[in-house]
Amino acid sequence: MTWDPALVHAGEVSAGASAPTSISGLGLAYYVNPIVDAVDPSAGSLLAKGDEVVEARLQKHDKKGAPSPDKWLKVKNYQGTYVHALIQNAPTKVIDLKVKRAGTEVELTIPIATDTTWASEDRGFAFLGDTQIQQAGDPIEALKMGWHRTARTVKVIYQTLYATIFRQISAETMSGPLSIANASYNIAGNDIWQFIIFIGLININLAVVNFLPIPLLDGGHMVFLIYEKVRGKPAPEKLQEWSMWGGLAFILLLMAFVIYLDVRKLIL
């Protein structure tokens, strides 16, 4: 491939092990098989054409600074981008690979060298993110900050629900109890105060969902109470009964869907 001089690296990084390679300028993405297509004879590579990478292992530094092998990482047949990302971000100049070659599995230790013909990644401006810790000076200010954060979170939740309903955001971005438990474990291990904030955000989400006009939830009961106030009499009993069954079915289907998404994320 001849590089286009007008190419500017978009700064995109792989979103996960199963993410495809993106061509941001065209709005396209494609999966890459972890199979060696060609080998440069002058490089003296240990790899051979047709080798399929099935596992990869990086070399890390121990407390004394000496390199030591990390754990093996499984590579699926569409995770070529993942292998590429591992090589680019390797902490040392060596990576171990297990490849399938002629029906057998071969373990190789591959040296990593810089490709001077690769398009530069640091052209243009790189605007780095900036963070600032907000700290209340007194309890009154803390209550104001908490109220502002809660109101902003509620607004974002409603905007996300709207975008999901009208398919501006994929429903597959939702998470269920398994993802929440995993995120809670990771956050609690890093910062207990961030964990408390995370639990608060989960409670805000539950409160917003609970007040949606879905039968069986508090929001559904509010709809029936408003109906009774306007009409001067309760809604028909059959209507309430079938609404409750419909609301229960919707909640169960939603739970099954998000748990399926969680399990799929864990598997992939």
Please, which pLDDT band fits residue 245 given cuts at 50, 70 and 90? very high
94: left (phi over 0), alpha (psi -120 to 50) or beta: beta
Q: What is the pLDDT of residue 11?
A: 57
Segment among 74-78, 87-91, 122-126 with least mean pLDDT? 122-126
Report the residue count for the chain.
268
Of 6-15, 183-192, 218-227, which has the strongest mean pLDDT? 218-227
Residue 73 exposed, middle or buried by CB count within 10 Å (0-12, 13-18, 19+): middle
Using CA atoms, how far apart are residues 202 and 180, in angstroms rounded to an integer?
9
Query: Using an 8 Å Cβ cutoff, are 108 and 46 in contact?
Result: yes
Question: What is the tens place of the pLDDT at every residue in 68-84?
Answer: 788 888 898 888 888 88
- Per CATH, the number for 21-111 is 2.30.42
Radius of gyration of the chain (CA): 26
Q: Write down the pTM of the prediction.
A: 0.52
Question: What is the tens place of the pLDDT at every residue in 9-51?
Answer: 555 666 677 888 877 667 788 888 999 998 887 766 788 899 9
Using CA atoms, how far apart are residues 219 and 211, in angstroms rounded to an integer?
4
- Looking at the DSSP bridge assignments, the partners of residue 110 are 95
Q: Which two tokens stand for residue 228?
A: 């009774």
- Looking at the DSSP bridge assignments, the partners of residue 48 are none
Using CA atoms, how far apart are residues 225 and 81, in angstroms rounded to an integer?
55
Of 116-120, 129-133, 214-218, which has the strongest mean pLDDT? 214-218
Q: What is the pLDDT of residue 90?
A: 85
Query: Using an 8 Å Cβ cutoff, are 268 and 17 in contact?
Result: yes
Q: Tell me the average pLDDT across 244-256.
A: 93
Q: What is the pLDDT of residue 53?
A: 93
Residues carrying CATH 2.30.42, the chain: 21-111
- Looking at the DSSP bridge assignments, the partners of residue 106 are 99
Closest CA to 198 of 244, 257, 153: 153
